[in-house]
Amino acid sequence: MHFDFNRMNILDRLTGMTRLNSYLVHYAGFDFQFGEGSVLKALDRDIELWKQNPEYKYKRQLFIWSFGGLGDVICAEPVIRFIREKAYPNEDIYVMTRNPELYAHIPNLHISDEYPKGDFDAIYEMNTHFVSHNQFHALVPHSLVHPVDWISMATMGRQLTDPEKEIHLQYTDEDLEEVKKIYPQPEELVLIHPGRGWPTKTFPKEWWEQVITGIRSAGCKVALIGKEINSEHGYVKTDGEIDADFRDKISIKGLIALIAKAQLLITNDSVPIHIAGAFDTKIILIPSCKHPDRILPYRKGTKYHRSKALYKKIVDDDHVTTPTSTIGWKMGDWQIGHFKPGHKIEEYIPEVDEVINETINFLCE
């Protein structure tokens, strides 16, 4: 027999559906859980709400927590869109995020950066990050899974099909105008993002400078992008001539417009790679700690549409994990953020000439 015929409040967080949707409500345990007299208060409340809804039609209440780094929030977009359009097309969905502009194009979402206000007697919560904190990444380390897959498994317990994993982002004429105030013709630019983060994906300043100089010498217009977040995340500060500098000068939506219009993006494993996944911009990824199969965005049903990955080897090759390991994944090493003793970044990144030559050839294709 379905639980609607013996509905207890233990189902509130398992289903996200209000008890008012049931035929028989079982109020046992209310006084124990909510205090003396709570049963009678609940009965009075429910009777009044039933009177206000004579058709007895209710919607499920879903809360989605989409936090973490900006790349995580972007990679959650196809998952949240799938939840809205296919999994729960008719339910009430509340999304909590610090970047609401990234989901504004998904219809019928309640988006906020704080806990929703209202009377919610049943909530089903989804978190784009595996929890609890002491088990963070313990079962499915982020570095060993594509970020969209990681989020879909965290929220839905499943992977999406490849076409469903495509990221959708939008920008406005005002966002593009923000870009054109710095450089009027963004469509002719090669964007370079010398991202700074974990030691395993922060490349030497001199290496980036040689790449920039070489590409400009071949006649390309080069622009730098990046944002200083904190002491651990930002961009490598390079010297030398460039054609445009967007670093710390444009909004997230401006960055989306810029990447959408540019002809090529060169970057390590960082936020711009995921933004580019929403558009047809050519991508040259310089992976180091994660295999490109676990980084490149899905476009046209594949991760290698207008994309190349240049590298010597992957740090992941030196960190092969097994189910019989007794060490486990601890905060600080779960993301393969550090080299094993005796290794350095030059072992993993490609030679400068290879990057320059591949860039020129790719632009000519």
pLDDT, tens digit (0-9, with 9 covering 90-100), for 133-168:
555 455 677 778 899 999 999 999 899 999 999 999
pLDDT, tens digit (0-9, with 9 covering 90-100), for 202-235:
999 999 999 999 999 999 999 999 999 998 899 9
Mean pLDDT check: name the lowest of 40-44, 196-200, 319-323.
Answer: 319-323
**Residue 357 confidence (pLDDT) above 60:** yes
Q: What is the CA radius of gyration of the chain?
A: 24
**Residue 78 confidence (pLDDT) above 60:** yes
CA atoms of 180 and 188, how far apart (whole Å): 12
- Say how many C-beta atoms besides its own lie within 10 A of residue 275's C-beta: 27
List Cβ neighbours of 17 (8 Å cut-off, separation of 6 or more): 11, 58, 60, 61, 122
- Say how many C-beta atoms besides its own lie within 10 A of residue 169's C-beta: 23
Count the alpha carbons within 13 Å of 311 in the hemisphere toward its beta carbon: 25
Beta bridge partners of 303: none
pTM of the shown model: 0.92
3-state secondary structure of 268: coil
DSSP for 98-150 reads S-GGGSTTSTT-EEESSPPPS--S--EEEESS---GGGTTTSS-GGGS-HHHH
- State both tokens at 209: 């400078």
CA atoms of 202 and 169, how far apart (whole Å): 27
pLDDT of residue 340: 81
Mean predicted lDDT score pLDDT of the chain: 91
Q: pLDDT-derived band of residue 193, with 50, 70 and 90 as boundaries?
A: very high
Q: Which residue has the tokens 């990824």?
A: 285
Q: How many percent of the chain have pLDDT more than 90?
A: 76
pLDDT of residue 255: 98
Domains of the chain: 3-52 (no CATH), 61-165 (no CATH), 173-364 (3.40.50.2000)
pLDDT, tens digit (0-9, with 9 covering 90-100), for 92-108:
999 999 999 999 999 99
pLDDT, tens digit (0-9, with 9 covering 90-100), for 32-44:
777 888 889 989 9
pLDDT, tens digit (0-9, with 9 covering 90-100), for 124-136:
999 998 765 555 4
